[in-house]
Structure 1
Amino acid sequence: MSKVLDHYHYLHEIPELGFQEFKTSAYIADQLEKAGLKVTRNINQTTGIVAEIDSGAPGPVLALRADMDALGHIIDGVPCARHTCGHDGHSSVVLTAAQELLAEGAVKKGRLKILFQPAEELGAGALAMVEGGALDDVEMILGFHLRPLEECVVGQATPAVRYSACSTLEATIKGAPAHAARPHLGVNALDAAVQAVNAVNAIHLSPGLNWSVKATRFLCDAGVTNSVPDEARVVWDLRSQENAPMEALKEKVTQAIQHSVAALGATAQVVVLKEMPAAEIHDDATEVIRAAISEVLGPEGLLDARSTPGSEDFFYYPVKRPNVKAGFWGLGTNLVPGLHHPDMHFDLNALEIGVNIFKSCVKKVLG
């Protein structure tokens, strides 16, 4: 009997933030070792794990990747970690697939590498794995993500999910303090920040491109209500379906912020907090996934490729290692009310489908 639900229920109860997945990583590594896989822990001095099944025969090197971290939320005023992006499901599926593939002797040629990656939500985990050498000998890498109900339902899967590029910019806006009774003696950072938000909202790229930019955090407090605040911090979320327009968008946003606050006598320092590249998916990998979905779910369960404004640090793998063929698919799970929602939940029966699709992929490449 599959262990996927046992793994899921355990991991779901120990959510940990990026690069802090100590319990999660220990559990996964222990389970892999008990199954008989060769395991390397603490990749690049992080919680990352690489496990391996070596057939002993010549052949390609295929990697499966799962992310492990939970999201940070503030719920009822209390900061907490919660698995609201399904990474506990991803880890459970890939862990179970690895255990079953080894037990079945399914890897007949080449080698299978299993990557459990930290800090996807921080946009830093894939980079840490690459820098730690996890992909140095890999020829193809496959990843996946649970999909919301509106994209596909249980019993369906898409062979390619084309994620968008994402950049998070923060501006620290400096003004000058003053008594609220004499505002002309200061420079109101709050006014300047509002000006910056409006200036960014007036940016236009070509209507033929898929992109967006919006302010997502605004912090400003003089400590009292009768003083002009001298500092404000604003964060913007930028999205682009392609990588090239993202560079132009970041430049336009930075200029809009700096020029708009300068008009009021303030200054702005703009930094990139995190960014993730747009999807780069290889046709060969997609064909493997497409065939596996058809085998497991039948032609009626195979959907077309999907595009999403969401972002995934998985795509640092093909960006940093262009010789690696990357494939990324989506599993229908009836997920509601949405990814990153504090109350996100999905049909757990879909996890077994995920296990079988990954196993089919491996058998097609290494069987």
Structure 2
Amino acid sequence: MQTNSYADELLETFQWFHRHPELSYEEVETTKKLKALLTAKGITVLDTGLATGLVAQVGTGKQPVIAIRCDIDGLPITEEVDVPYISTVPGKMHGCGHDFHTTAVLGAAYLLKEKEAELPGTVKILFQPAEEAPGGALDVIKTGVLDDVQRIFGLHVTPAQDVGTVGLRSGADSAAVDAFKFTFIGKGAHAAHPELGIDPIVIATNFINAVQTVVSRTMNAFAPGVVSVTHIAAGNTWNVIPETAFVEGTARTTTPEDRALVRSRIVKLAEDIAGAYGATVDTDWYAGPPATNNAPELEQFVAEVAREAGLTPVVREPSLGGEDFAYYEERIKGFFFHIGTGRSHSLHNPKFKVDPAVLYPAACFMAQLAQKVLADPALGVRHD
């Protein structure tokens, strides 16, 4: 797997995906392209019933069964990168590197197909839709296609690492993602006579100030967590106290206990502050993906395979970003790692870009990882 047999082909494929981004659950052309490329190489595409995205399979069709996963959706961002393969779709771009993920895992599928006769088991290859929704992982899980999978691995690019590095961290290397929307309901009045109303703006601002203490005064000081208010809206003119005020934000934590604690504390603050002013509050809490949970016993194994593939393992800095790969890790032991693609603007930025030079090494790494997991009984995978 050390030849550059697919390097040029993968670069061309990556540029096609980059030029044709599609949003979550809209990845129709991406899915068609993937199916055509896979079937042209003789790789089996499973019938899962997914509307977009697909699952391919290489190997014996028997145990042990492992999976490698990528995500395929883009973002609603207008690209501002000066590359010859810039997005051709107005208002959409691959601003989170999913085009890279897709191409690297596609390359791994090609390489595994070449070695199919030597594989002592089965590799399922997930091209997952709607990671940015988020929640596409749940759609894959619902198909049952992963019911026999014993280990799962996924990758993500990062502009915080140099080209050719692989960032590794056991346990939670990303956070549980929760979003809240609160509508404080007061009583409208003339701005000159606030005593005749119940001002929801005052209530909302008191809540916004108070919610900043949830992490600093409720959680353990050594536990990662953050609460951010990101959207407020109230009123529409200068001399009217409005009826309602809207507050929206997110909470990020890394353990189930902290997640439950932070949710209960935020909701209670909203209710109590509203009640103290004689108002009410409508609450809407969205529970997104949990924190990732990378199996500690897999870390050194992944690091060693990375070295063999010519990449450099490094310690991954913890992040409170979210990743729906965590849904898989609730059910299957796995590891999620980060490929350095060169210092750049951040993910989800219109100027974000990756260095495609590491595409083929990443594909080799993923393929070698799959092969070695299947062959290593020390990792606990079951053989028929």
Q: Do the structures match in fold with TM over 0.5?
A: yes
- Quote the offset at 1:182 in angstroms: 3.1
Alignment check: 8 A CA contact 1:54 1:110 kept: yes
Cα 1:134/1:231, change in 2 over 3 Å: farther
Q: Does the residue aligned with 1:289 lie in a helix, a strand or coil?
A: helix
Indicate which of 262, 280, 293 corresponds to 1:280: 293
| Structure 1, unaligned runs of 5 or more | none
> For 1:1-367, what aligned pairs fall within 5 Å after superposition?
1-2=5-6, 3-40=9-46, 43=48, 45-55=50-60, 58-73=62-77, 80-105=91-116, 108-149=119-160, 152-160=161-169, 162-203=173-214, 204=217, 205-222=219-236, 224-297=237-310, 301-319=312-330, 321=331, 324-366=332-374
Richer in strand (by share)? 1
Alignment check: 8 A CA contact 1:146 1:335 kept: no
**For the residues of structure 1 that align with 2:250 and 2:333, how far apart are their CA atoms?**
29
Range with bigger deviation, 281-290 or 24-33: 281-290
Q: When the two structures are aligned, how many residues end up with a matched partner?
A: 355
**For the residues of structure 2 that align with 1:332 and 1:31, how far apart are their CA atoms?**
26
Please, what TM-score do these two structures have when normalized by structure 1? Answer: 0.89
Cα 1:280/1:44, change in 2 over 3 Å: farther
**For the residues of structure 2 that align with 1:208 and 1:147, how far apart are their CA atoms?**
25
Cα 1:84/1:74, change in 2 over 3 Å: closer
- Quote the offset at 1:173 in angstroms: 2.0
* RMSD value, Cα: 2.3
**For the residues of structure 2 that align with 1:75 and 1:305, how far apart are their CA atoms?**
27
Please, what TM-score do these two structures have when normalized by structure 2? Answer: 0.85
What is the aligned-residue identity percentage? Answer: 30
Amino acid in the other structure paired with 2:324: D
Cα 1:75/1:250, change in 2 over 3 Å: farther
**For the residues of structure 1 that align with 2:207 and 2:57, how far apart are their CA atoms?**
50
Alignment check: 8 A CA contact 1:107 1:362 kept: no
Alignment check: 8 A CA contact 1:4 1:92 kept: yes
Alignment check: 8 A CA contact 2:253 2:320 kept: yes
Q: Does the residue aligned with 1:232 lie in a helix, a strand or coil?
A: strand
Cα 1:45/1:227, change in 2 over 3 Å: farther
- Quote the offset at 1:61 in angstroms: 0.4
Alignment check: 8 A CA contact 2:79 2:92 kept: no
Alignment check: 8 A CA contact 1:143 1:328 kept: yes
Cα 1:274/1:33, change in 2 over 3 Å: farther
Alignment check: 8 A CA contact 1:140 1:285 kept: no
Residue number in structure 1 paired with 2:380: none
